[in-house]
């Protein structure tokens, strides 16, 4: 992966994430870029108690993971569904920053969950692949468009009036 290519993909990922309020992470394959780049920022999220701020990681891999916890996840690429997914609670990641420097990230809880979700995308694994039961653990989302900012609240209320 050329440094310039990584930077361009990272900028695109960041813009796309910022354009969707509530979106806390994206991986390059979600925007059609077949490279191992992810962006995560949980600092503005109510569950993001522990946060490194905006993380842009190249070639991230899980060096250490322990614990397990089930929590609800959604995904911009599967906007109509959410699911209960079991993931490690504490992780240490080994990655490279945009500046080419090796970077280690130790985190836990929601931020760890988001990073693991995005790393899964790099391997073609979706959160639906990780649910125990498609009938019990997957849920249809009603107001994703509003929640994600895909449409403005104004356009929603207009639609309703008609």
Partner 1 sequence: MPQYAVSAIGRDRPGIVAAVTRVLLDHDVNVEDSQMTILRGRFTMMLILATPEGGIDEASLRAELEAAAGELELDAISLNPVGAAEEGGPVEPSHIVTVYGMDHPGIVQAVATALADASVNITDLETRLVSDDDGADLYAMMLEVALPAGMSQGDLEAALATIPREQGVEVSIRELERDEL
Candidate list 45, 90, 97, 146; residue touching partner 1; CB under 8 A: 90
Q: Scan residues 110-139 and list those touching partner 1 (CB under 8 A).
A: none
Rounded distance between C-alpha atoms, residue 84 and residue 152, angstroms? 28
Strand order in the sheet with 55-66: 25-27, 37-40, 55-66, 90-96, 102-108
Residue 95: HSE in the Cβ half-sphere, 13 Å Cα cutoff: 24
Tell me the window of 17-25, 74-82, 104-112, 129-137 that interacts with partner 1 (CB under 8 A): 104-112
Candidate list 109, 114, 120, 127; residue touching partner 1; CB under 8 A: 109
Q: How many residues does the structure list for the chain?
A: 162
Q: Do 110 and 47 contact (CB within 8 A), yes or no?
A: yes
Contact status: 64 vs partner 1 (CB under 8 A): yes
Contact status: 86 vs partner 1 (CB under 8 A): no
User: In the complex, what is the shortest distance from the CB of residue 14 to partner 1, in angstroms, rounded to a whole number?
Assistant: 24
Q: Do 11 and 26 contact (CB within 8 A), yes or no?
A: no
118 carries an active-site annotation: yes
Strand order in the sheet with 138-140: 69-74, 81-87, 138-140
Nearer to partner 1, 110 or 144 (CB): 110
Candidate list 14, 18, 50, 130; residue touching partner 1; CB under 8 A: 50
Dihedral sign, CA of 160, 81, 126, 148? positive
Contact status: 3 vs partner 1 (CB under 8 A): no
Contact status: 94 vs partner 1 (CB under 8 A): yes
Please identify every residue annotated as catalytic. Answer: 118
Name the residues that contact partner 1, by CB under 8 A: 50, 63-64, 66-67, 90, 92, 94, 102, 104, 106-109
């Amino acid at each position: 992966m050329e440094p310039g290519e990584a930077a361009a993909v990272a900028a695109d990922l960041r813009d796309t994430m910022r354009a969707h309020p509530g979106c806390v992470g994206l991986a390059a394959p979600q925007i059609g870029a077949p490279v191992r780049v992810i962006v995560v920022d949980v600092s503005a999220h109510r569950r993001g108690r522990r946060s490194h701020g905006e993380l842009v990681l190249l070639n991230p891999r899980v060096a250490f993971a322990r614990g397990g916890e089930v929590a609800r996840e959604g995904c911009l690429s599967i906007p109509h569904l959410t699911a209960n997914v079991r993931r490690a609670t504490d992780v240490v990641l080994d990655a490279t920053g945009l500046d080419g420097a090796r970077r280690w990230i130790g985190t836990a809880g929601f931020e760890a969950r988001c990073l693991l979700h995005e790393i899964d995308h790099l391997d073609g694994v979706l959160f639906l692949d990780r649910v125990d039961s498609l009938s019990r653990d997957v849920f249809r989302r009603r107001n994703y468009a509003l929640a994600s900012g895909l449409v403005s609240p104004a356009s929603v209320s207009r639609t309703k009036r008609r």
